[in-house]
């Protein structure tokens, strides 16, 4: 009997899988954007746990930077859960949630530049942090007001770009960039982390003004691909940003422990 049933099932071929039209807020296998929201939200939460655990095994002066990195990914993860629900329910860009997320995480990322340099050179004053914060506030505030049509979208774009340019000036040619280039007082590990973070802020962040320009101002990109690109950009610009700090912290800590133990090679390759 079992053999007959098996033979009949083979003859009938694979059965069609019926997907309900109303998934009641659950993920659809046909909605790649919603799936990307889910994957990245979980990745952010996992990164938070990883950074918090790793902060207990690195040198003291790196701990604050590592914990701030965990805050960045935790805040982003919580917002991504809400952005996923918004997308599934309305299928529109979650502009408000994105800007709330950025208004919290981007200043924390700017703090990271200050923290890793101050840990290596305690004489640095807070002016660098405040300049980076001002650039961040201008960039995000005018970007949001432009996209929300509180003011002229072109004006919001131009002023927001000016804020980003001010940040880039500070980390390349300003005080932050100058201190990072001091080989006598700044370790190789800090310089490597600073360089990676600066690259992400320059290249990785370019996705956002490009999306604003082509997706919103020029109406040349649909909501689905635009949000998918934004999600992937956030994945790199937040997690990889913090991983650069983690790698530098682990490498320097390992090297320090190796020297204390009299080893010729660091413990972390």
Tell me the per-residue pLDDT of 113-128, one tens digit each, with 9 for 90 and over: 999 999 888 888 889 9
Answering whether pTM is above 0.85, one says yes
Q: What is the dihedral of CA 113, 61, 181, 207, to 10 degrees?
A: -30
**Separation in Å, CA 196 to CA 42, 201, 237:** 24, 9, 11
Total Cβ atoms within 10 A of residue 84? 24
pLDDT above 60 (res 269): no
Region of residue 91 (phi > 0: left; psi between -120 and 50: alpha; otherwise: beta): left
pLDDT of residue 256: 87
pLDDT above 80 (res 267): no
Question: What is the average pLDDT across 128-138?
Answer: 95
Among the listed residues 237, 7, 232, 5, the one whose alpha carbon sits nearest the alpha carbon of residue 112: 237
- Tens digit of pLDDT for each residue in 28-83? 888 899 999 999 999 999 999 999 999 999 999 999 999 999 999 999 999 999 99
| 33 compared with 184, residue with greater pLDDT | 33
Q: Report residue 148 as tokens.
A: 């929300």
Question: What is the average pLDDT across 151-180?
Answer: 96
Q: Where are the domains of the chain?
A: 26-254
Assign 210 to helix, strand or coil. helix
Total Cβ atoms within 10 A of residue 86? 18
pLDDT above 90 (res 262): no
Domain 26-254 is of which CATH architecture? Up-down Bundle (1.20)
Q: Kindly state the DSSP code that residue 58 receives in the 8-state scheme.
A: S
What is the C-alpha separation between 69 and 55, in angstroms, rounded?
10
Q: Report residue 29 as tokens.
A: 């296998």
Q: Report residue 91 as tokens.
A: 């299928």
Q: Report residue 153 as tokens.
A: 């979208």
What mean pLDDT, rounded, does the chain reach? Answer: 90
Question: What is the average pLDDT across 157-172?
Answer: 97
């Amino acid at each position: 009997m079992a053999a007959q049933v098996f033979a009949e099932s083979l003859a009938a071929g694979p059965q069609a899988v019926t997907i309900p039209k109303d998934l009641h807020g659950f993920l659809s296998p046909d909605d790649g954007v919603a799936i990307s929201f889910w994957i990245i939200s979980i990745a952010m939460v996992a990164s938070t746990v990883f950074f918090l655990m790793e902060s207990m095994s690195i040198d003291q002066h790196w701990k604050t930077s590592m914990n701030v990195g965990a805050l960045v990914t935790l805040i982003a993860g919580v917002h991504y859960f809400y952005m996923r629900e918004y997308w599934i329910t309305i299928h529109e860009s979650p502009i408000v949630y994105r800007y709330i997320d950025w208004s919290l995480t981007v200043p924390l990322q700017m703090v990271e530049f200050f923290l890793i340099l101050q840990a290596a050179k305690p004489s640095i004053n807070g002016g660098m942090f405040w300049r980076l914060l001002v650039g961040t506030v201008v960039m995000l505030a005018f970007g949001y007001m432009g996209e929300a049509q509180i003011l002229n979208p072109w004006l919001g774009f131009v002023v927001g770009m000016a804020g980003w340019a001010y940040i880039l000036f500070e980390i390349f040619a300003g005080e932050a960039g100058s201190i990072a280039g001091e080989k006598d007082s700044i370790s190789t590990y800090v310089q490597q982390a600073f360089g990676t973070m600066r690259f992400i802020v320059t290249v990785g962040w370019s996705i956002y003004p490009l999306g604003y320009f082509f997706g919103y101002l020029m109406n040349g990109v649909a909501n689905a691909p635009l949000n998918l690109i934004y999600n992937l950009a956030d994945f790199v610009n937040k997690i990889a940003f913090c991983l650069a700090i983690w790698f530098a912290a682990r490498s320097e800590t390992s090297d320090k422990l190796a020297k204390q133990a009299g080893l010729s090679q660091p413990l972390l390759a």
